[in-house]
Amino acid sequence: MNIIIIGAGDIGYNLAKMLSLEKHDIFLIEKSDKNFSQAAETLDVQVIKGSGTSYKVLEKAGIKDTDLLISVTNSDEINLLSALIAKHYGVRRTVVRVKNREFLQAAAPINAKKFKIDLIIHPESVIAQGAVHLLKQSAATDFIEFAHGKIIVMGIQLDRSQNFFNIPLSDLAKQNPDFTFRVIAIHRKETTRIPGGNDVLLPNDRIYVMVARENVPDVIRITGKENVKFENIMILGGGQTGYHVARMLEKDYNIKIIESNVDKSYQLADRLKRALVIKGDGLDLDLLAMEGIIDMDAFIAVTGNDETNIVSCLLAKHLRVPKIISMINRIDYLPIIPTIGIDSYISKQLLTINKILKFVRRGIVENVASIPGIAAEIIELIPNIGTKITKKSLREIDFPKNAIVGAVMRGNQVFIPVGKDQIEPGDKVVIFTLPSDIQEVEKLFN
């Protein structure tokens, strides 16, 4: 596929990196000298310096033969205008990132439908939904839904109190015959591997488990975790993300939101119905104590500054707040976050990339997700009649070594497949794969 990406910031850069591994022809357009140099020196794509609204630059990038244009700069105007120009050249599909949520509204004079944009993304809304998901599953570090919510991938941080360490995973499954689950990945000391039946779990591992939704409580039980019911939640940061998180939560929880900017504090107080807005510094321990942080069930840091988010979350953890969630803006920070004691974190960039990848691969690909800090993807695919994956049992198929079939939903029934099982047309198949094998996995389903 011929793809033009406009904007080589965190989203555009990492999106180009991931799509280039799948052998797409990528042109990346960037105006900033710094971002242009980084992309040109480190990515295996064609990088062009210039504006995404210049028809000369777009023609240089091959706009006339482009299948998909993705515009993810920090400017709504550039993103929308570049998509409009792309449609003029006959580009079939366009994806745009916007900061102003008004562009999502049907009544807006300019919106996706009127500009004929195929997908318009508001990252702040996406990350707010991710934070709410993690709050509702307090025992998990990650909680991702597939197959219309019937199959769940859970991230769980193991402490030193479990009694199943050094037991082979195959034996662990036999000890729990009442429900089916599969450990699809183990993240240990900054490396991630797809385990086999002889692998064992160790203290401080972060594991990723694929399980039917109804068996989520069983996984929580055997890993020694507990879902805590929350009532009091403190949010640090009153920008767009903080506002959307508070708006989604204030109906069901007691919310306190801390914002250092006076004008933003007044705006938040006007826009939010029940949440209590506090003007102050989220790194001020005396302020946090005065506002009752020790009585909080959860602390969510969503400022635009990663260092502020990380330090404030560590303060909250020191004060024994049961659940902490940090927003991380820089993707290259993600691998080190679990090692410093922050269990749950969300990435605006990564969640946005996931949504775009799902759109790019739509067809046989029903859903796609990446896990923060891990170079791997979880893909939900639906094979058609006659595809390679449906012709033989799993043990007879030359399945990529860096991929694993985690779970299958056939009709309304979810099961964990083994070697003797055969995938059928119409199954919803959820696969964990490293980037190197994504294309080989998709070939089996095409």
Domain ranges of the chain: 2-121, 127-131+228-350, 139-222, 382-445
Please indicate whether residue 275 or residue 369 has the higher confidence score (pLDDT): 275
The confidence band for 362, taking pLDDT boundaries of 50, 70 and 90, is low
C-beta of residue 293 within 8 angstroms of C-beta of residue 287: no
pLDDT in tens, 395-427: 998 888 888 999 999 998 999 898 899 999 999
Domain 382-445 has what CATH class?
alpha beta
Report the interhelical angle of 33-42 vs 10-20 (nearest 10°).
20
Query: Cα(392)–Cα(389) distance, rounded to whole angstroms?
Result: 7
Q: Give the SS3 label for residue 310.
A: helix
CATH number at 139-222: 3.30.70.1450
Q: Say whether 127-131+228-350 and 2-121 share the same fold.
A: yes
pLDDT tops 80 at residue 343: no
What average pLDDT does this structure show over 298-319? 92
Strands 403-410 and 428-433: antiparallel
Phi-psi region of 386 (alpha: psi -120 to 50; beta: other; left: phi over 0): left
pLDDT in tens, 100-140: 887 777 777 777 777 788 888 888 888 888 888 788 777 78
Nearest-5° angle of CA 30, CA 31, CA 33?
100
Q: What is the DSSP letter of 275?
A: P
Nearest-5° angle of CA 128, CA 133, CA 136?
125
DSSP per residue, 101-151? GGGGSTTSSS-TTTTT-SEEE-HHHHHHHHHHHHHHSTT-SEEEEEGGGTE
Closest CA to 5 of 55, 97, 72: 72
Reported pTM = 0.75
- CATH classification of 2-121 is 3.50.50.60, yes or no? no
Cα distances (angstroms) measured from residue 131 to each of 6, 49, 249, 259, 446: 28, 36, 10, 18, 34
For position 276, what pLDDT does the model report? Answer: 93
**Which of the following CATH numbers is that of domain 127-131+228-350: 1.25.40.20, 3.40.50.720, 1.10.357.10, 3.20.20.370?**
3.40.50.720
Q: For 151-155, 253-257, 315-319, 334-338, which range has the lowest pLDDT when averaged over its residues?
A: 334-338
